[in-house]
Amino acid sequence: MRLITLLLAFVLAGIFAVQAHAATYHVYVGTATGQYGRPWIKPGAPMGGMIYLVDFDSETGALSNARVVAHTPANVGWLLVDPKKSILYAANETAAGSVSAYAITPGTGTLTLMNNLPTQGSPVFLALHASGKYLVAGNFGGGSVAAFSLKPDGSLDKMSGFFQAPSASSPVPGEPDPARPPQMHSVYIDPTGKFVVANDHGRNKVFVLALDAATGKLTQADMVQVTSSDAPRHGSFSPDGKTFYDLSEHDGKIDVYDFAPATGKLTLRQTVLGLPNDFQGADAAAELLISKDGRYLYATFRGHDSISTLKVGTDGKVTLIGETSAQSPRPRVIAFDPSGHFLVSAVEEGNEVSAFRIDPNTGIATYAKQSLALKDLWSIAFLPPSSGH
């Protein structure tokens, strides 16, 4: 009898331990219900978007209870959470463009609009300075970068800096067709907080902009003309800030750059294909994320409809080690859940959000058999446990 009691206590302790380990997180999902620049969206559709709040189970990867917490003036080009101030920032992707700040209600995760400001272009990416003093937006339409100072409560103050990428008046080796305008597809603030790396998708350039910590002004510090890849889209800094990884949309290649934190200079070290060499078709690469420990890169491909896993060597160079079906057409964005055990993918045309479990030994992401149906998915951001819970 005593043995049975001990065994029962052991089993119950294990159950309670699992329950204590599991947590339910909130994840925001932005949609694109307008037709701006999106040929597959029916003409005449409303221009506004929506932000959903979804529950995520960190033990199973289950996604549930989707509810609308905000209606936006445009397609939700990007979502970003400030965990220190419980603020959600949203990029409103129209020709005029704007960025909005929402206060997050602790516990429920619901949103209250604080304010919004114009970006002088159509924003598709946002980055937050570690100090919490500045927000930077990348304008795809218009080909520019806008910096905003933030008030102590996290709301938007004013535009503090602006950089306009130049258009080409004559062909340059390595550049695409001169008719292609500059298009800033993403912006990244390096770990020192001194520089912004901006991808000019249209002109095949990577700009490095100095961000003045006192004024928020932007000035060009470096520029790389991309010749090894086509249409740089999204990237990631290594945790130590000394390497920058950049994914190109049109050919699925990843450029690996040495980054000099003192000067902002980029130096190309490696170019590698993020897909199997025998793949035939349009790559349509989308997102590139690096794991918190810097050991793995994850890339999404909307032509191959897959998520690739690449291993990062001790020298910073990368090697493709596996790919997993995205389960739905055109995986656009991925995000790590706060536990670091899952990737969550939002797809453009498959109309679902899906969870992928990360193998702790190999780093490879595999489908966790957990999905949630939602339409016209465009952006995604997890709410960290320290913010809004």
The CATH architecture one would assign to domain 25-383 is 7 Propeller (2.130)
Residue owning tokens 């800096």: 161
Phi then psi dihedrals of residue 38, to 5 deg: -125, 95
pLDDT at 173: 55
pLDDT at 96: 82
Query: pLDDT, tens digit, for every residue of 181-211?
Result: 999 999 999 999 999 999 999 999 999 999 9
Beta-carbon contacts of 217 under 8 Å, excluding residues fewer than 6 positions away, are 147, 160, 161, 211
**Roughly how many angstroms between the first and final C-alpha of the chain, as a whole number?**
43
Rg (the chain; Cα; Å): 21
Q: Return the closest-CA partner of residue 376 out of 72, 64, 61.
A: 72
Q: What parts of the chain have a pLDDT lower than 70?
A: 1-22, 34-48, 168-178, 280-282, 386-389
* Separation CA 82–CA 88 (nearest Å): 6
Residue 200: its H or E element = strand 195-200
pLDDT at 37: 47
Query: pLDDT, tens digit, for every residue of 286-327?
Result: 999 999 999 999 999 987 789 999 999 999 999 999 999 888
Between the CA of residue 296 and those of 149, 220, 254, 323, 345, what are the distances in Å?
A: 33, 30, 13, 13, 17
pLDDT at 293: 95
pLDDT at 304: 78
Asked if residue 187 lies in contact with residue 145, where contact means CB atoms within 8 angstroms, the answer is yes
pLDDT at 19: 40
Q: What letter does residue 230 receive in the DSSP assignment?
A: S
Buried b (16+ CB within 10 A) or exposed e, 161-174: bebebeebeeeeee
Compute how many other C-beta atoms are within 10 angstroms of the C-beta atom of residue 359.
13
Q: Could you tell me the residue ranges of all domains in the chain?
A: 25-383
pTM: 0.90
pLDDT at 8: 44
